[in-house]
Amino acid sequence: MPRTPRMVVTDSGQKAAYHVISRTALDGLPFGKVEKDALVRIIKRFSAVYCVDVLGFAIMGNHFHLLVEVSPGDMVSDDDIRKRFQLLYGKAAEFPEGRLEAYRDRFCSLSAYIKDIKQRFSCNFNQRKNRKGTLWGERFKSVLVEQGNTLIHCLAYIDLNPVRAGIVKRPEDYRWCSIGYHAQTGNTDGFLSSDLGTLGFGVDDALMQFRTYREYLYHVGAIEKRGKANISKKVLDEEIAAGFEMTRVRRFRYRTRYFTDSGVIGSRAFVEASYETFRDHFQTTRDKIPKRVTGIEGMYSLKRLADA
């Protein structure tokens, strides 16, 4: 029986939003901290290459969710396609002008984007585990999502995955989801769309968007669903009392994970000097650049030691 064609918007002049879900074919929960970190890095990498805006994500123990907006080809300039080609293949790579439209189609394709993410992660996972064979189950599922209330509700559904699974009490306590990424890294590298789906609420200030989204998220998450964990009334009441503001104390608490998860942490000079000393401990041939620890002045970190 032939596969059902995927619903992909081809109208010119507007972005289309999709909720993507893909599950592993392996039993149990094969994705641990290292695998989840790797998948986030890979998603970030290809999200810079492809013409997509990532609104949300959640990496769970055996599957992942993505909420993305894909730009149609007529919204992307020729120069932008050339720049994306170099992001993928390196600045030294010569762009094949005769294939400009082919690369435009590729970089504006949801299927090509997800295929590259899953293939790269499969290679990474199989190499780490010294295994061969299929990692993913059936082809990924994609749901076309309407802008506005539907979009923000879908984003909330994705961010509430770790709460429903009983892993955390507050969604931003889980670093492998979009609200956790915003809270714990300050949206490092501008990876995620900053509006959090709140534009339909008439909010355009970044801090207010974050507060508005958290208020929406906590109220939705507190709705009881049979057989699923939810945000407790106690936690919701605490957030209401705090006006859904993220306090400096909580922001600092989220940043403290860098003290245990980093390979090196300290001033930029210290991190750079340590990297030169232990360069062979890192799992990459590319130079590592110290990342600023958002919320702690003058502190930088490097991570992923080979034996982590």
pLDDT for residue 5? 56
d(CA 72, CA 66): 18
Could you tell me the mean pLDDT of each successive run of 10 residues in the chain, 308 residues long? Answer: 55 83 95 95 96 96 96 95 96 95 96 96 93 90 86 92 94 95 88 81 79 92 83 92 78 61 74 78 70 69 53
| Whole-number Å distance between alpha carbons of 38 and 32 | 10
- Domains in the chain with CATH codes: 12-143 (3.30.70.1290), 146-255 (no CATH), 263-302 (no CATH)
pLDDT at position 186, please?
86
Say what the pTM is: 0.81
Which residues, in sequence order, are CB contacts of 9 under 8 Å at separation 6+? 16, 70, 72, 144
Which residue's entry shows tokens 């049979």? 226
For residue 305, the model assigns a pLDDT of 44
Q: CA 180, 181, 184, 190: dihedral to nearest 10 degrees?
A: -150
